Amino acid sequence: MAATPFRTPWGLRWMSAGGTLEFRPRDLLSFRWVAVAVILVAWFVYYPIVDNFIVSTTDEDIFTGEVTQVGLANYRRLLDDPIVWLSLWNNFLYAAISIVFQVFGAFILAAMIEGLDSERLKRFWRAVYFIPSAISITITGLLFYFIYQPDIGFLDAVLKASGLGALMRPWLGDEQTAIYAIIAMSQWQGFGYSTLLFAVAIQKIPRELYDAAIIDGAGPLRRLWNVTVPLTREMTGLMIIITVTGAFQVFNEVMVMTAGGPNNSSQVLGTWLYQQGFTENNFGYGAAIAAVIFAVTMLTGIAQLLYTRRRRVQL
């Protein structure tokens, strides 16, 4: 068994696993377990991110294929591009509205479902509300594209039937409403997913806490506020961070429903990146937009890391 251990050089000691101070050449064989994953992730996940920053400092002539170094010009262009600011605003709207419905709304809904008496009913509603989340957002996006159409969709027909005919409009064709119509679809598609997660978190709360609260004479709302809310706080924090991260990466549904239109009014960073990079072949500028998405998701990612770490320390 024993290859003679020798003392680790000081610099390697901090890297050694589990506090073992010895370094045995044999242990290098363990790398075979992780080699494939490390190579694939480094090559296809990390390297492109690095490359993206290099591309973002260049400008490529699509006719000659000639690449010129432009330094930070693409980033300066970002600051002057009104569509970038509009996209950021739309991503922000996406995040804010999703927090209201997919975090707070979903939490209340999960509490309502878990408060039902019948185990069967709980399972039934959780599953029903989750169905849209199982379906591709490309499909639900297309579906709502039709639902919002004035000629064949049913939304305007519902409004008309309920006496709200004044509100009827081509939801996706109107600059004022396009982005809200897309966000509304995304709430419809996603709330069941977070409801399910909150339901799981609520189930983990020990039943005795509720019994104690009942003995103390706490009504349903008091129990919700004093037991359920504090004990699912971690999940709520995580859901907020995940929702914000997702909101700044949004692409599919906007692409399918409006492709950023009309008149760029529903553009988000993802679709603007696609249009610049792939429709107009401004690879360099597209890469600079990608760098903005990277910066935002990095911030939320770090927030999530700190959050989970703090939580683990508390436990």
Site residues (CB under 8 A) for another protein, limited to 265-284: 270, 273, 277-278, 283
Residue 212 binds another protein, judged by CB under 8 A: no
The string of DSSP codes covering 245-296 is HHHHS--HHHHHHTTT-STTTT--HHHHHHIIIIIS--HHHHHHHHHHHHHH
Reduced to 3 states, what is the DSSP secondary structure of residue 98? helix
**138, 147 contact by CB (below 8 A):** no
Considering only 15, 79, 166, 313, the residue that binds another protein (CB under 8 A) is 15
Q: Which is nearer to another protein, 96 or 158 (CB)?
A: 158
Choice between 143 and 178, CB closer to another protein: 143
- DSSP, residue by residue, 31-44: HHHHHHHHHHHIII
Q: Which one among 83, 171, 178, 286 touches another protein, defined by CB under 8 A?
A: 286
| DSSP, res 103 | I
CA nearest to 130, candidates 196, 203, 198, 200 = 196
Structure tokens of 250? 């949004």
| Nearest approach, Cβ of residue 104 and another protein (Å) | 15
Task: Return the residue matching tokens 């706080």.
Answer: 233
Q: Is residue 315 close enough to count as binding another protein by CB under 8 A?
A: no
User: Minimum distance from CB of 64 to another protein (Å)?
Assistant: 16
The yes or no reply on residue 240 touching another protein (CB under 8 A) is no
Q: Which of residues 62-91 bind another protein (CB under 8 A)?
A: none
In the bound complex, what is the minimum distance in angstroms from residue 58's beta carbon to another protein? Answer: 11
**Residue 120 contacts another protein per CB under 8 A:** no
40 binds another protein (CB under 8 A): yes
Q: Is residue 206 at the binding interface for another protein, with CB under 8 A as the rule?
A: yes
Q: Is 235 in the site for another protein (CB under 8 A)?
A: yes
Verify binding: residue 131, another protein, rule CB under 8 A: yes
Contacts 24+ apart (CB under 8 A), 147-154: 148/172, 148/181, 148/257
Q: Which stretch binds another protein (CB under 8 A): 79-87, 164-172, 173-181, 239-247?
A: 239-247
Q: Is 63 exposed, middle or buried (0-12, 13-18, 19+ CB in 10 A)?
A: exposed
Q: Which of residues 155-184 bind another protein (CB under 8 A)?
A: 157
